[in-house]
Structure formats: C-alpha cells, structure tokens
C-alpha cells in the first residue's frame, strides 16, 4: 500500500521533530485532488511560520489531529497524482503551499486557467492566498529549470514586494532610510532589492558581524551596519524599520537610538529564536505593527484587479531571480533524516546565507 511520509514539529519546542507515515487513499471522493510533492523550500520564513503559527493560523493549514504537533507550511512544486475533479488533470504541475510531506490531499473548488483553491473545511477563515495552487502551464514566467529557485524565492519575494508596496502606499511615512534587520536572510535581501529598485529610500541592512561582508557584496544595500553598531546609524535621518529578525534587543536599540525619527516600525519575521517583540513593552517612537502580507495583497487585488497585481509582481520577480543567480547556491536534502538535519540547521541559524535548502522526503 502506498504511503505518505510527513515531517512534524512540536508546537512548543520546534527542535523536537518526528516523521509520520500514513496510508494514501486508494480512491478519491468527488472534488478531491491528491498531489505528489517533489521538493519544497526550507528557509527562515518556515521558522517564522512556527513562531506565529497560533496567532496567524499557520498550524491550521495542514491539521495533524494532535494539538501538540504541527505541520510547517512550505513552498514547493507538486504533480497531480490522482484527481476526482473534472477540471484538474492527472499529471498537472502546480506551485503553492504544502506540508513538509510527500503528498497532500485537498478538496478543490472552482478552477480557472491560472489556479484553483483548497476549500476544505479547515481552511475556513484563513487567508485565501495560502490555499491557492497555481498552474505552472499558465504561468508566463515558469521555467522548469528554475523550479527549486522559485520555491526558495517566490513566496518570500511576494512578502517583500508587498511590504515595500505598503511603504510606498503610505508615502514611506516621510522617511528617507529603510532599516532592514536580519539583512542576510533571503526575505530581507528581496526587500532591499525592491527598495533600491524604486529608489525612494536608502536600503540600510542590519546584520551580524560574520555576515556583514556577504551583505555588502550583494550590492542591494546602500549601507550595512552590524547590530553592535546601531548607535552609529544616522539617527537625524527619518527612518522606517522592517524587522525580519524578531530580536527584542535589536528592536529596543533601534527605537532608543531613533526615538521619534523612527516614523514606522513593522514586524515581518522571526529568524532569531528569541521571537518577536512582546506585547506591552514600552518603546520610544512608534509602536511596532505586525505586517500581514495577505492584507496588502487583497487591497491591491481590489484596486488593480488580480491579474494586474500578479503581472506586476511577476515582472519584478523575474529581475530578482536573475539577481539571485549571482549569489544563491542551492543545496539538496533527500530523505527524512536529511530533512530533519536541514530543518535544525535553519532553526539554529546555521545555514549559510549564500545557500538555499530544498528538501524531498521521497526516498525512491
């Protein structure tokens, strides 16, 4: 009997992992679609999903039936293995959010030429963008040879693009500098490139001493400072901060150094294990706000129309992935033991910023 292999993490201790094996359904009910997941990307974004899993519903994407354990969402490509939906064909290639698994069973709803959604009951109340599976055949920028790069970069680039667009949408809060923490992370690099491309703000990266040279060599930051040198930042210049790290000490240092010259502070990720700023912490300057990319996507989709929004993002993403060709090296992890090794490396901050991890739980 064919089986599904899935990696799960303890919801209150992310370094505790287990591998689950389940039987795959022999027959599907009407509307169901069974995907076979080839490879998925593993980045600091996945760790951020763990930290905000309860607050933003990420643990609800792929229920485990055991509240103590969770399935971490990951971007990747998959093939339709079985279909009981009239408009979804076996063999079709799709991109989207999957569990860290070999398979995913969904209930497909209304389809169009670009995508279809999972309308399973547990998806109710969750952002629709996460339930979409985009058809590779209708994606004008799809290149089979770039699937792994797309899995690593496309989802996080969407977050970064929408974050920069939200700053633009608010006249950059009258700031001149954009402070980006965890500057060596891929989401931060994507944001820096988007900021630099528009040219309205200076992109200022904040990183550890060991990653400073890497960030400077990228060329997408107009300036790079270490966390120890926050007090050397030009606090007389109004700034916005985009926190990808979730480090309380770094946030406090930025707010203390800038005071009211910090015009806006948003929290996007949590690459540092100590987690994002806690509620109730008094800080000089603006109160940090959690940036939720689907809200900005919904706003732009309503204003521009879904196709126009997707066109603008895709055009911009093509430029970013060409930029990534110069520095990103993809490293493969195959099998459940290797998958656990990769997860722990990313969780503990041991992954090289120049590498991107892709994982397959398939053994054959």
d(CA 101, CA 39) in angstroms, rounded, equals 9
166 token code pair:
């939200």
Share of the chain above pLDDT 70, in %: 96
Helices 293-304/306-324 angle, 10° precision: 130
pLDDT of residue 270: 54
Partners of residue 93 on adjacent β-strands: 79
Taking only the tens place, the pLDDT of each residue in 223-274 is 999 999 999 999 999 999 999 877 888 999 999 999 999 999 999 865 444 4
Taking alpha carbons only, the member of 185, 186, 191 closest to residue 204 is 191
Three-state secondary-structure class, residue 235: coil
Model-level pTM? 0.87
The predicted model gives 317-325 an average pLDDT of: 95
Do residues 177 and 201 touch, judged by C-beta distance below 8 A?
yes
pLDDT of residue 269: 64
HSE of 325, CA atoms in CB hemisphere, 13 A: 9
Q: What is the CA radius of gyration of the chain?
A: 20
Do residues 181 and 188 touch, judged by C-beta distance below 8 A?
yes
Taking only the tens place, the pLDDT of each residue in 86-118 is 999 999 999 999 999 999 999 999 899 889 999
Answer whether residue 281 shows pLDDT above 70: no
Query: What is the CA 319 to chain-centroid distance, rounded?
Result: 18
204 token code pair:
């200022």
User: H-type helices in 11-135, by residue range?
Assistant: 44-51, 53-56
The predicted model gives 291-301 an average pLDDT of: 90
pLDDT of residue 279: 43
d(CA 69, CA 355) in angstroms, rounded, equals 28
The predicted model gives 196-207 an average pLDDT of: 96
pLDDT of residue 21: 95
d(CA 197, CA 220) in angstroms, rounded, equals 9
Q: Work out the pLDDT band at 1, boundaries 50, 70, 90.
A: low
| Burial (0-12, 13-18, 19+ Cβ within 10 Å), 151 | buried
Answer whether residue 278 shows pLDDT above 60: no
Do residues 59 and 14 touch, judged by C-beta distance below 8 A?
no
The predicted model gives 170-196 an average pLDDT of: 96
In the numeric block, the tokens 């060409």 are attached to 322
Partners of residue 97 on adjacent β-strands: 75
Domains and CATH numbers, the chain: 3-139+328-360 (3.90.180.10), 154-294 (3.40.50.720)
In the numeric block, the tokens 């309503």 are attached to 302
Gap between the terminal Cα atoms of the chain: 15
pLDDT of residue 275: 45
Do residues 83 and 33 touch, judged by C-beta distance below 8 A?
yes
């Amino acid at each position: 009997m064919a089986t599904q292999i899935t990696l799960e993490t303890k919801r209150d201790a992310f370094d505790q992992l287990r591998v689950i094996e389940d039987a795959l359904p022999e027959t599907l009910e009407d509307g169901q679609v069974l995907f076979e997941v080839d490879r998925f990307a593993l980045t600091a974004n996945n760790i951020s999903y763990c930290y905000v899993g309860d607050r933003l519903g990420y643990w609800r994407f792929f229920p485990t039936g055991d509240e103590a354990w969770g399935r971490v969402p990951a971007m990747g490509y998959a093939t339709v293995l079985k279909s009981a939906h009239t408009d979804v064909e076996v063999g079709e290639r799709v991109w989207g959010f999957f569990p860290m698994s070999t398979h995913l069973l969904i209930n497909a709803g209304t389809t169009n030429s670009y995508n279809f959604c999972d309308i399973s009951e547990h998806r109710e109340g969750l952002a629709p963008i996460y339930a979409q599976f985009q058809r590779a055949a209708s994606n004008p920028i799809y290149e089979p040879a770039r699937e792994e790069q797309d899995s690593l970069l496309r989802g996080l680039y969407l977050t970064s693009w929408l974050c920069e667009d939200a700053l633009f949408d608010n006249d950059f809060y009258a700031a001149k500098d954009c402070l980006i923490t965890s500057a060596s992370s891929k989401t931060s690099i994507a944001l820096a490139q988007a900021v630099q491309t528009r040219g309205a703000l200076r992109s200022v990266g904040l990183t550890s001493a060991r990653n400073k040279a890497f960030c400077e060599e990228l060329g997408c930051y107009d300036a790079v400072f270490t966390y120890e040198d926050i007090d050397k930042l030009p606090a007389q210049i109004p700034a916005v901060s985009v926190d990808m790290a979730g480090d309380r000490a770094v946030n406090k240092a930025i707010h203390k150094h800038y005071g009211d010259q910090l015009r806006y502070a948003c929290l996007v990720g949590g690459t540092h294990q100590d987690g994002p700023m806690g509620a109730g912490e008094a800080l000089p300057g603006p109160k940090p706000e959690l940036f939720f990319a689907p809200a900005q996507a919904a706003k732009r989709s309503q204003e521009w129309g879904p196709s126009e929004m997707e066109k603008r993002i895709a055009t911009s993403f093509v430029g970013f992935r060409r930029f990534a060709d110069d520095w990103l090296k993809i490293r493969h992890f195959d099998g459940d033991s290797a998958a656990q090794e990769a997860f722990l490396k990313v969780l503990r901050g041991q992954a090289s910023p120049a590498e991107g991890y892709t994982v397959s739980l398939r053994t054959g």
